[in-house]
Amino acid sequence: MATFSDLVVTRWGARFMGRSFPCSVGRCGIGVKTREGDGITPVGTFKILRTYIRTDRIRGQATPIRLQMIWSDDPADPQYNTPKPKPIGRYSFERMRRPDPMYDIVADVDFNRSPITPGVGSAIFLHVWRKPRHPTEGCIGFDRKHLATILADWNSKSRVILRP
């Protein structure tokens, strides 16, 4: 059961601390995630493990996104679904420092983390949306100000609840 401090996300929007926020989800909706790149936002209840920011664009208390920082999305990589300070080897990855504002603020959701199962899906984030309600690859996108508001009010009991 959701509590007041949970971020409850559906395909229609999100609710947190008594407020409603528009958001975007994966291009294939919210459901059971089965593989990397399926465009599904995973149904379930999750925690935020860490928040990252572009310190050259935003001030705040979070882990800085460094110039070469990447996120491994290659199931063959022994460090699959984890951040790395720079690309290592021939594995595919996603750059965390992007030219657009999408990853100016990023909250890492604990999907497929304990244990990590290669190929099930990686890098489920709360991040800044491309444009209002534009589908993501599986993450949850928000207006930048709304995401900052949500994360400023986040507490140790808060959870991300994703409902179909």
- The neighbour count for residue 11, using CB atoms within 10 Å, is 16
pLDDT of the residue at 98: 97
Confidence of residue 8 (pLDDT cuts 50, 70, 90): very high
Predicted pLDDT of residue 110: 97
Task: Please give the domain boundaries of the chain with CATH numbers for all domains.
Answer: 7-162 (2.40.440)
In this structure, what token pair is assigned to residue 39? 């465009």
Q: Checking DSSP bridges between strand 125-128 and strand 140-142, what pairing results, if any?
A: parallel
pLDDT in tens, 87-130: 989 999 999 999 999 999 999 999 999 999 999 999 999 999 99
CA angle 75, 27, 25 (to 5 degrees): 95
Strand partners, 46: 160
| Mean pLDDT over each residue of the chain, to the nearest integer | 96
- What count of other Cβ atoms lies within 10 Å of the Cβ of residue 155? 7
Q: Determine what percent of the chain is predicted with pLDDT higher than 90.
A: 96
Residue with the bigger pLDDT between 1 and 15: it is: 15
Q: Which two tokens stand for residue 119?
A: 């190929």
Radius of gyration of the CA atoms of the chain, in A: 15
Q: pTM score, two decimals?
A: 0.95
- 23-56 tens-digit pLDDT: 999 999 999 999 999 999 999 999 999 999 999 9
